[in-house]
Amino acid sequence: MREIDRAIKLSRRGLLKGSVVTGATVLILNGAPLILGRGNAWAMELKAFSPQDGATLLRFTRDLFPHDQLIDAIYASALAPLDAEAAKDPATKSLISKGIADLDARAMKASGRRFAETPDEFTRVAVMKQIENTAFFQKVFSSTQTPLYNNRDAWPKFGFEGPSSPEGGYLHRGFNDLDWL
């Protein structure tokens, strides 16, 4: 064993424990509301919404654009422009807050739990179908779609190598990469 390997003995469990302590410290020192993803991993700092509303928006966005291979932080970054807009525009904040309240009320009626806490995806989707013609649904959908799919961190998960124009185009970079076509 090399000397440096003996000096740095950090297990995965130790790293995770340290990360949790660091995350808790950030929450205490900063005091800003945070969206916590699966396993309470930090996803984003909120400007306009409570952590509870942020969790609902995160779950709602994951159900709108379901990609199991994407982590919560990518969905949270797609929500960042909506959060920033709501922080500046009281009408947007009101629309989203009322939409979340309506979503939670419908989820409570269907499952006895808030939307973000409803474990059954079919129940959540049924609730979403009830509101798909509302201004809230349309606002969240239109505000998160482009940031989600325009996120460079998400591209590799979809098999997209990124834009080819800086590399000289697709003719000599990926034109014939598809083995399934």
pLDDT tens sequence across 23-73: 333 343 344 455 554 444 445 688 999 999 999 999 999 999 999 999 999
Residue 168 lies in a domain: no
**Residues 89-109 pLDDT 10s:** 999 999 999 999 999 999 999
Residue 163 lies in a domain: no
Residue 97, pLDDT score = 97
Range of the domain at 20: 3-152
% of residues, the chain, pLDDT over 70: 69
Tokens representing 44 are 């984003």
Lowest mean pLDDT among 12-26, 48-62, 73-87: 12-26
Residue 157 lies in a domain: no
Asked if 86 contacts 43 with a C-beta cutoff of 8 angstroms, the reply is no
Residue 80 lies in a domain: yes
Q: What share of the chain is helix, strand, coil (3-state, %, to 5)?
A: 65, 5, 35
Residue 133 lies in a domain: yes
**Residues 115-132 pLDDT 10s:** 999 999 999 999 999 999
Residue 166 lies in a domain: no
d(CA 148, CA 137): 16
pLDDT category, 7, cuts 50, 70, 90? very low
Residue 116 lies in a domain: yes
Residue 5 buriedness (CB in 10 A; 0-12 / 13-18 / 19+): exposed
Q: How many domains does the chain have?
A: 1
pLDDT category, 141, cuts 50, 70, 90? very high
Residue 129 lies in a domain: yes
Kindly report the pTM of this predicted structure: 0.72
